[in-house]
Amino acid sequence: MIPCRSWLLFLVLMVAVPALAQEDDEQRVQEQPNGRDPAGEGETVPAGVAIADTTVLENTGLFFDCQNTPEAGIRANVTKLNYYGRLTNTVKATQNGSVSTTFNWGYDNFRRQEKTVETRSARGTYRSGDVLPFTMSMDAGTDWSEDLTVNSSGNENQNKRKTRRAGINASKSQLHTGPLVHSLNAGWFYNDQEAINQEQRNDFDNGEFSGALRSGVPLAQGIRLATRLYGIKRDGNSLLADFESPSSTTGDTLGAGVYYKRTRFTGLVTVSQASFDRSYLDYRRDSNGLIDTTNLDPGMEKVVRELEKKDALELKWDNTMNFGRLKLISKLSHKTGSQDYAISGVGLKEKSDDLVDLALGIAVSRRDSLTVKYQYKWGWDDQTFSGGTAPRGKQYKKNRDFSFIWDRDLFTRTTFQLRYNTNLSQDIAENEFNENDRDRLSEDLSGKLSGRFGWFTTSLLASYQNIDDVAIRATRSANNNSKGTYEVAPKYTIKFSDRLTLNQTFRMYIQFQDYVYSDLEGSSKDDTYNKRGNLATSVTFKPNERLSATVKHTYNKKYNGNRTSTDSAGNDYYRKVQDQTLNRIDLAFSYYATEWLTLDTATYRTKDTVDRFSANNSVSERYSGELWIGGIIDKSWGPPDRPLVLQGGIKRFLAYGPNVTDTSSDYWEADVLMRWMF
C-alpha cells in the first residue's frame, strides 16, 4: 500500500509537470538571441509574443504543446441550479506520451427541496506512449462531495464522501507465440474512502491488483478463436458505524468464443464464466435484503462481517444467414447465476434466463417484403433463506412475442403496411408459494395506407388491440378483465410552398373494458367504455429566411360510460358518466438573428371542461398556460487554435394553472458554457 503522502506527492507531480514543462520551453525561447524563433527559420519574433504564444514552441523536448482549457458554466431548470467549473491541462510528452490534469468543481442548489450538493475532483494521468516496450499509465485522483438535505421536519442530514485512487497500469498487445496473438494488461491501485451519512462512518482503504490476458488464433479462413482471462484481488480494511474489520475481494472471469464470417453466415459462439468472493462490513439484512437494525434480538450487533459469493455462466450463439432475398437472424442464449450470503437473511439466490430470438426477412418481390419475428424468453429465480433447509420455490417468468409485418407498394407513390403482434407474458410461482400467478395476453392488428404526391402526403391508420389481464389464483381473479380498443387515424400534410405547410391529424378511439366476473356476487365492477376524438391542426409559416412561426390547435373530446344492462339479444347498454373537452392553442416563433444567435418564443393556453353525470351533476372549467422566451448562442472569439467560446441556450418560463407552484410559475432554464483554450 502507498502511504497517503506518496500519492499526494504523485498528484502534485502530475499537476506540476505540465507547468514546469511549459516554463522550460518558455525559457528556451527566451534564450534565443534577438528573439529569433527556436526553429531558426530567420523570422524575427518579438520576445514577449513568443513567450505568451505556446503554440510556436518546438516539439522536440521531453514535454511540449501545453494546452490549458478553463471552462465555466451554469445549468438551470425547474428542479435545480447547477454551477460548474473545470480546468484541463494537457502536455504532450516525447514519443506519443502525454500528461494531463483535470480539476472539477460543481455546486447544485435544488429549487423544490432544501438541498445543496457540492462536488470537487482532481485527476492526473501520465501515459508513457512509446518510451517503454509496453504501454504504461499512471493515474491519481480524488473526488469529494457533500450533500446537505433538510427534510420536512427541518432536520439536516449530511452525506459527505471523499475518495482517492492512485496507481499504475501496464499493457502490451501484439505478443506472438506461434499462431497465437496475445494482449496482456496488469494494474495496481490504491483506493481509499472516508464517508459519513446519517452520522454513521463508512470508510475503507485497500490495495488492488488486477491482470488480464486476451488471446486469439485464426482457425480457418473467416473463423477465429478468442479467449480471455481476468483476475482481480483487493485487500484492506473497512470501518462501518464504529465497527472495524479487514475486507477483501477476489474475482475471476474466463471466456472463450468462436467468431465467424463466411460467405452466407456471420456470427459468434461464446461461453463465459465469472466468480466473485467478497468479505466486507454491512448492516444486518432480513430475508428480502432490506436493512433491518430495529428488529434485532438482544445482544445482536447491527453491523456484521458479510461474506458474499457470486457465480455466473453465460452461453451465447448469434447467427445471421443471408441467402439473397432471404435473411434469418437468430440469437440463442442461456445464463445462470447464484449469489450466496453467509450472514444476511437473504441466504442463497439462484437464477436462470434463456432466450430464443428469431427474425426472418424476405423480399418476396420488388413490391412486397415480409418480416416475421418470434421471441421466447423464459427464466426463473429461487431463494433458500439463511438457515432454511429447502428452497422457497422457483418464480418463473415467461414471455412469448410474435410479430409479422407486410409491406407492399400498391400503386406508384402509395404503400400499404400490415402489422400483427401478439404477446403473452406469464408469472408462475412453483408450488404456489405465492398467489401472484398472472397472464397478460395482447393482440395488436393494424393496417396503414400511405400516399406521397409531391406537395401532398397522407396516411390512414386503422388498428385493433385486445389485452386480457388474467390472474390465475382464486384470491386474485375477481378483477380479471379484457380491454378491446378500436382506432381510426387519418392524417395529411399539404406543403403549399417552401414557406407554408398545413398538417392535420384526426384520431378516433374507443375502448371497452369488460370484467370477466362482473356478474358474480361480490363483484361490483362495472364494465366500461371510453371514447375519444382528437383533432390536431398545425400551420407552419416562414415569411422569410430568418423567421419561422407555428400555430397549432388541438381539440380533444372524451366520454366515459358504464354498462347498465344487457338485453335478451346480448346488446349492451351504457350510461355516460363523464364528458371532458380539452382545447389547446400553441403559438411558437423562431428568429435567426445572426450566425451565432437564434431567438425563440412560444406560448400555449389550455381550457379543460369536465361534465360529470351522477345524482349531483357538476361542471368544472380550468385554464392553464405558459409563455417562454429564450435564445441559443454559439459564438467564439480569437484565433481558431485559441478560441474563447460561448455556447448555450437560455429560456425564461412564466406559467399559470392548477399545476403551477411557486417554484414553477417563474423560472429560468439555462445551459451556458464559456470555454477558453490557450
Nearer to another protein, 446 or 511 (CB): 511
Rounded to whole angstroms, how far apart are CA atoms 632 and 592? 10
**Least distance to another protein from the beta carbon of 196, Å?**
12
Contacts 24+ apart (CB under 8 A), 266-271: 266/319, 266/320, 266/322, 267/317, 267/318, 267/319, 267/320, 268/316, 268/317, 268/318, 269/316, 269/317, 270/314, 270/315, 270/316, 270/317, 271/313, 271/314, 271/315, 271/316
Q: In the complex, what is the shortest distance from the CB of residue 621 to another protein, in angstroms, rounded to a whole number?
A: 10
Query: What CA–CA distance (Å, rounded) separates 599 from 69?
Result: 29
* Complex with another protein: residue 6 or 200, whichever CB lies closer: 200
Closer residue to another protein, CB minimum distance, 156 or 641: 156
- Rounded to whole angstroms, what are the CA distances from 187 to 85, 212, 289, 468? 31, 9, 33, 55
Nearer to another protein, 21 or 471 (CB): 471
Burial class (CB in 10 A: 0-12, 13-18, 19+), 178: exposed
* Least distance in angstroms from the C-beta of 202 to another protein: 9
| Nearer Cβ to another protein (28/112) | 112
Nearest approach, Cβ of residue 59 and another protein (Å):
42
- Which is closer to another protein, CB of 71 or CB of 579? 579
Nearer to another protein, 351 or 491 (CB): 351
C-beta closer to another protein: residue 261 or 473: 473
Number of other residues whose CB lies within 10 A of the CB of residue 21: 21
Residue by residue, DSSP assigns 122-188 as EEEEEE-TTSSSSEEEEEEEEEEEEEEEE-TTS-EEEEEEEEEEEEEEEEEEEEEETTEEEEEEEEE
Residues 527 and 513 sit within 8 Å (Cβ to Cβ): yes
Q: Mind spelling out the 3-state secondary structure of 563-596?
A: EEEECCCCCEEEEEEEEEEEEEEEEEEEEEEECC
How far apart are CB 293 and another protein at their closest, in Å? 10
Please tell me the distance from the alpha carbon of residue 629 to that of residue 111, in angstroms, as a whole number: 21
Q: Measured from the CB of residue 611, what is the shortest distance to another protein in angstroms?
A: 12
Output the smallest distance, CB 115 to another protein, in A.
7
The grid cell for 401 is: 412475442
Of 474, 572, 582, 489, the closest CA to residue 528 belongs to 572
Q: Say how many C-beta atoms besides its own lie within 10 A of residue 497's C-beta.
A: 9
- Which is closer to another protein, CB of 115 or CB of 452? 115
